[in-house]
Amino acid sequence: MTLRFDVGFDVFAFGALKMTNGITDIDLTTGLFCHLDLGSVIPGAYSDFATAVTSGLLGSGTTTTVTYSTTTARYTVNVGASPITLTFGVDESDAAHVRMGQVLGFSTAPGSLSPGAQVEGDIAPFFMIDAAMGGASDATDDYEGGMSEDAEAEDGTSYSVAPTSAPVKSDFTVPFEPRAAVYIRSAVAATPWTWQHFYQHCRAVHPFAVTDDFTDVTVHKLMAKSDRFKPKRVVRDYRELHDLVLKTRVVGRL
């Protein structure tokens, strides 16, 4: 079962990303991206990151591409007809190389690669969370937010105002998340980006795509009054499992 969160991010705010092809640097210093392309619901923003990295690689004179699997939630480097040496990874000394490794999910640099080689990232990429239980709990599905007002005059007549269309909202709980997936201080190397990161990053600003087993891919934003990190222990005196309650505005569907 799948319940996955692919989160939009701003390169300028996160920090420059760098991949080096031999002696040629592929730099990304600005742009709004996501692991999935959100452009159909947020025009002109949050394009898919793999395309941007591939464009940089092709511009450096290689036929190597980078792809993101919606099945495994991992990036793969696909080497073309010529050998290539790539430098980026979480263990690099240069901060921009580290950030590229974090977003692509590579703990170490791919290094020298032969023609036709395929190398998959070995850790979960930043800006993605795979829920442990693979399903949402207490889900409302879509509902309308209330914005209408009515009142009565002194003579008893009534009047009202209402929007021409109402915003669509959706609330749900991500249940039984392990402590290592919830708190930054408890994170493990294989899944470094936690729910605490999620709330600190998204707030009510950045969108996120939710993929589930009902073939829906829905794009949401957190509601302003519920965009603070507040996990709830599943059992009051047991600290290892937590529920995360998300109250969201539905931006659209992919």
Residue 223 CA to its chain's centroid (Å): 17
Q: What is the pLDDT of residues 177-233, one digit of tens each?
A: 999 999 999 999 999 999 999 999 999 999 999 999 887 899 999 999 899 999 999
Domain boundaries, the chain: 3-128, 129-253
Q: What is the pTM of this model?
A: 0.92
Rounded CA gap, 64 and 79, in Å?
4
Each residue's pLDDT tens digit, 147-160: 788 888 888 898 88
What tens digit of pLDDT does each residue of 102-122 get? 999 999 999 999 999 999 999
**Cα–Cα distance for residue pair 221/169, rounded to 1 Å:** 9
Q: Closest Cα partner for 34 from 230, 217, 240?
A: 217
Q: What is the four-CA torsion angle of 202, 203, 205, 207, rounded to 10 degrees?
A: 40
In contact, 126 and 102? CB cutoff 8 Å: yes
| pLDDT at residue 146 greater than cutoff 90 | no
Residues 123, 106 contacting (CB under 8 angstroms): yes
Q: Is the pLDDT of residue 169 over 90?
A: yes
